[in-house]
């Protein structure tokens, strides 16, 4: 019956992570998957999240279905987190927010909405981007193309090219943009660059779709929402998928959301209705538990304070690892510039290592980074950072 089903090649990142798990070497180092590990190499259970979870379990009663759009307390807590408490767009009721199944689910629901109501719009992705962006949007029937982004020569953004590219896009083109901590490069737009894009977005009637998967890992929880708030303040209509996988270390609970910022409340109501329809015929409604834990952390003042301190600690640990890696590499290979490890933000660094160098890192040293040269800096710790730097120096120096 199923002999005609094609074999699945697997997801490159998840397959590499599986290969790491099977690697028998005791000193192997996993810098592949985008997960935050603590200094002991463990995925943390944040004390704020733990306390919220206990409170949620204690208070739990019957388990009815959630509404299609998710729990009201979660949705409003997400809006305040993204846009800031009391933002006029919230007060005006012009944001339609649904609880997703992770932010991947938010991207998918957004992709379905756009396919139905913007059938002629192409989706423009940064070059490069997270591979799954293309997969999700193509999966919803979209045509995806790329816009200029990373400059391998300078390690920065090709901003002039990006701006010129946006200026010639057909109206109503969808531009998918990382709100902070770009995956895979770690290279973000500056505040001034975001500001410079606003008039182009307005004049060309572009439809930005922001992806905020690493809130708090760049400069801070509030700071990392800069682009979201700028577009909302400027009256741009846009979509944003956001995630709690990394910021609350809740990967397996699949907590995230999709918000669509509309010109007015009437349009937001129409959009919310169609989002519900997309959800109803897909998975019907989201799961309850994780979203309630997130809502508790966000709305309980004591837990909120704890969480903000915990996110700060994770962010600062990554920054400390960046400095240490940089220091050892500069000492081992003087004359070469490794400043990109310091300037790139969030969990990832684009190392510039070639595919064959990445392969050598894995085969000879048990250090796993992606073939693209992307490393997850959050996999470094005080015990493996020296060995990682030595392995990098060996493959780069040869």
Residues at the site binding ligand TYF, with contacts judged by CB under 6 A:
13, 33-34, 104, 130, 132, 183
Pick what 379 binds: ligand PLP, ligand TYF, none; C-beta below 5 to 8 Å, kind-dependent. none
Residue whose C-alpha is closest to residue 183's, from 208, 211, 148: 211
Contact by Cβ (8 Å): 316, 95: no
| The token pair that represents 165 in the structure block | 């590219």
Pick what 33 binds: ligand PLP, ligand TYF, none; C-beta below 5 to 8 Å, kind-dependent. ligand TYF
Comparing CB distances to ligand PLP, the nearer of 130 and 150 is 130
Pick what 13 binds: ligand PLP, ligand TYF, none; C-beta below 5 to 8 Å, kind-dependent. ligand TYF
Pick what 173 binds: ligand PLP, ligand TYF, none; C-beta below 5 to 8 Å, kind-dependent. none
Closest residue to ligand PLP, based on beta-carbon distance: 102
Question: Distances from the Cα of 99 to the Cαs of 2, 24, 64, 68, in angstroms?
Answer: 35, 40, 16, 9
Which residues ranging from 113 to 172 are in contact with ligand PLP (CB under 6 A)?
130
The catalytically annotated residue of 108, 246, 276, 296 is: 246
Pick what 206 binds: ligand PLP, ligand TYF, none; C-beta below 5 to 8 Å, kind-dependent. none
Comparing CB distances to ligand TYF, the nearer of 11 and 386 is 11
For the bound state, the minimum distance from the C-beta of residue 372 to ligand TYF, rounded and expressed in Å, comes to: 10
The catalytically annotated residue of 130, 224, 276, 296 is: 130
Q: Where are the alpha helices (DSSP H) in the chain?
A: 12-22, 47-59, 72-83, 88-91, 102-117, 131-139, 159-167, 191-203, 226-233, 265-280, 289-299, 301-332, 340-343, 355-365, 385-397
The Cα 331–Cα 102 span in angstroms is 41
Stretch that binds ligand PLP, among 97-105, 260-268, 294-302, 317-325 (CB under 6 A): 97-105
Residue 260 forms beta bridges with which residues? 96, 239
Comparing CB distances to ligand TYF, the nearer of 79 and 183 is 183
Residue whose C-alpha is closest to residue 257's, from 93, 35, 98: 98
Position 211 contacts ligand PLP (CB under 6 A): yes
Q: Is 79 helix (H, G, I), strand (E, B) or coil?
A: helix
Q: Residues 110, 186, 218, 256: which binds ligand PLP (CB under 6 A)?
A: 256
161 is catalytic: no
312 is catalytic: no
Q: Is 174 helix (H, G, I), strand (E, B) or coil?
A: strand
Stretch that binds ligand PLP, among 55-63, 137-145, 243-251, 308-316 (CB under 6 A): 243-251
Position 70 contacts ligand PLP (CB under 6 A): no
Number of residues that bind ligand PLP (CB under 6 A): 13
Q: Residues 70, 102, 366, 379: which binds ligand PLP (CB under 6 A)?
A: 102
Q: What angle do CA 301, 217, 371 make, to 5 degrees?
A: 150
Comparing CB distances to ligand TYF, the nearer of 79 and 243 is 243
Position 104 contacts ligand PLP (CB under 6 A): yes
For the bound state, the minimum distance from the C-beta of residue 171 to ligand PLP, rounded and expressed in Å, comes to: 26
Comparing CB distances to ligand TYF, the nearer of 130 and 341 is 130
The Cα 164–Cα 148 span in angstroms is 9
Position 292 contacts ligand PLP (CB under 6 A): no
Q: Residues 79, 140, 183, 259: which binds ligand PLP (CB under 6 A)?
A: 183
The Cα 329–Cα 392 span in angstroms is 8
Residue whose C-alpha is closest to residue 93's, from 328, 284, 265, 333: 265
Question: Distances from the Cα of 383 to the Cαs of 29, 91, 324, 362, 368, in angstroms?
Answer: 10, 49, 11, 18, 16
Question: Distances from the Cα of 318 to the Cαs of 39, 244, 248, 380, in angstroms?
Answer: 10, 18, 16, 8
Comparing CB distances to ligand TYF, the nearer of 245 and 388 is 245
Residue labelled with tokens 């920065």: 156
Comparing CB distances to ligand PLP, the nearer of 135 and 196 is 135
Stretch that binds ligand PLP, among 82-90, 98-106, 373-381, 390-398 (CB under 6 A): 98-106
Which residues ranging from 29 to 58 are in contact with ligand PLP (CB under 6 A)?
34
Torsion of CA 51, 98, 208, 135, to 10 degrees: 90
112 is catalytic: no
Instruction: Give the residue numbers annotated as catalytic, written as ranges.
Output: 130, 211, 246
């Amino acid at each position: 019956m199923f002999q005609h089903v094609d074999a699945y090649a697997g997801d490159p990142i998840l397959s590499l992570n599986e290969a790491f798990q099977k690697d028998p070497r005791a000193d192997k180092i996993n810098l592949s998957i985008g997960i935050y590990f603590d200094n002991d190499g463990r995925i943390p259970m944040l004390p704020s999240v733990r306390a919220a979870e206990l409170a949620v379990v204690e208070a739990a009663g019957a388990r009815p279905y959630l509404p299609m759009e998710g729990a009201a307390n979660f949705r409003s807590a997400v809006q305040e987190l993204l846009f800031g408490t009391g933002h006029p767009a919230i007060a005006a009721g012009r944001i339609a927010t649904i609880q997703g199944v992770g932010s991947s689910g938010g991207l998918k629901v957004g992709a379905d909405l756009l396919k139905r109501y913007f059938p002629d719009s192409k989706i423009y992705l940064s070059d490069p981007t997270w591979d799954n962006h293309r997969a999700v949007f193509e999966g919803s029937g979209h045509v995806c193309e790329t816009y200029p982004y990373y400059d391998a020569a300078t390690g920065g953004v090709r901003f002039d090219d990006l701006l010129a590219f946006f200026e010639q896009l057909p109206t109503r083109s969808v531009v998918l943009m990382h709100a902070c901590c770009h995956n895979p490069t770690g290279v973000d737009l500056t505040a001034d660059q975001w500001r410079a894009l606003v008039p182009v977005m307005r004049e060309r009637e572009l439809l930005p779709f922001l992806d905020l998967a690493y809130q708090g890992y760049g400069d801070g929880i509030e700071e990392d929402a800069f682009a979201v708030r700028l577009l909302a303040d400027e009256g741009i209509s846009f979509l944003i998928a956001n995630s709690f996988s990394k910021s609350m270390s809740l990967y397996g609970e699949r907590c995230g959301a999709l918000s669509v910022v509309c010109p007015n409340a009437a349009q937001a109501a129409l959009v919310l209705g169609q989002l519900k329809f997309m959800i109803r015929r897909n998975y019907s409604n989201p799961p309850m538990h994780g979203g309630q834990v997130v809502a508790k952390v966000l709305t309980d003042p004591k837990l909120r304070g704890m969480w903000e301190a915990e996110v700060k600690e994770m962010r600062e640990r990554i920054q400390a690892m960046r400095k240490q890696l940089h220091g050892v590499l500069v000492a081992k290979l003087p004359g070469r510039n490794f400043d990109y490890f310091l300037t790139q933000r969030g969990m990832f660094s684009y190392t510039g290592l070639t595919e064959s160098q990445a392969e050598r890192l894995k085969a000879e040293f048990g250090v796993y980074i992606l073939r693209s040269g992307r490393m997850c800096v959050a996999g470094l710790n005080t015990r493996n950072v020296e060995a990682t730097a030595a392995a990098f120096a060996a493959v780069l120096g040869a």
